[in-house]
């Protein structure tokens, strides 16, 4: 919302000179001061989230899996036999919006809708063999390319603390 994916240049910062004569003539080259913005949790959270998604998408380019698609595959693998409503609502996806997402995964033969015999209104979701194979490769990519990048930035203990705090916010805020 506040933040886009490109446009990250952010100017070339003040080069340590005292006079601003150049800026007066040719325009300000100095980066703006973020001030209180850098203390705003929502702002920093949003920018961090965009960066992480961006990196995720880049790491998954060869498999063409978005974060949302990956989350569906993970959840269906862990909970085979659940219906669309259950899977969608667990992920916070509205049922109408889940249809196109599933159409995509199904058309790529990654997952399948099966009419439930108990309740013929329901579509039970399962991963196809190809879906399982792709998910397995996806997990490896996440581990070797995506998470490894994160581990360079944060200490393992910090990484765990970060996840725990974010979960707390997600669940209790």
Partner DNA sequence: TATTGTTATACTCTATAACTATA
Partner DNA sequence: TATAGTTATAGAGTATAACAATA
Q: Pick the binder of a second copy from 19, 27, 107, 156 (CB under 8 A).
A: 27
Residue (of 60, 68, 64, 73) closest to 112 by Cα position? 73
The stretch among 13-21, 30-38, 106-114, 126-134 that binds a second copy (CB under 8 A) is 30-38
Interaction site with DNA (CB under 7 A): 1-7, 27, 66, 68, 83-85, 93-99, 102, 113, 119-123
Residues of this chain, 136-155, that bind a second copy according to CB under 8 A: 139, 142, 147, 149-150, 153-154
Among 44, 61, 99, 114, indicate the residue that binds a second copy (CB under 8 A). Answer: 44
Query: Does position 99 bind a second copy by CB under 8 A?
Result: no
Of 140, 144, 166, 155, nearest to 44 by C-alpha is 166
The residues near 65 (Cβ < 8 Å, ≥ 6 apart) are: 73, 134, 138
List CB contacts of 54: < 8 A, sequence separation 6 or more. Answer: 5
- Residue 17 Cβ, how far from a second copy at the closest point, in Å? 18
For 79-100, letters b (16+ CB in 10 Å) and e give eeebbbeebbeeeebeeeebee
Q: Measured from the CB of residue 115, what is the shortest distance to a second copy in angstroms?
A: 14
Asked if 162 touches a second copy (CB under 8 A), the answer is: yes
């Amino acid at each position: 919302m506040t933040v886009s994916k490109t446009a990250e240049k952010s100017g070339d910062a003040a080069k340590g000179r005292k006079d601003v004569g150049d800026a007066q003539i040719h325009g300000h080259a100095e980066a703006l001061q973020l001030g209180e913005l850098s203390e705003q949790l929502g702002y920093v959270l949003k920018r961090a989230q965009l960066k992480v998604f961006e990196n995720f998408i880049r790491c998954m380019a060869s498999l063409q899996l978005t974060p949302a698609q990956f989350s569906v595959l993970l959840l269906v693998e862990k909970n085979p036999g659940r219906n669309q409503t259950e899977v969608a609502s667990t992920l916070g996806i509205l049922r109408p919006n889940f249809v196109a997402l599933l159409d995509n995964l199904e058309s790529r033969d990654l997952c399948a809708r099966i009419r439930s015999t108990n309740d013929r209104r329901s579509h039970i979701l399962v991963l196809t063999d190809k879906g399982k194979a792709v998910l397995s490769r996806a997990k490896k990519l996440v581990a070797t390319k995506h998470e490894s990048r994160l581990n360079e930035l944060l200490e393992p203990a910090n990484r765990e603390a970060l996840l725990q705090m974010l979960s707390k916010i997600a669940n209790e805020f």
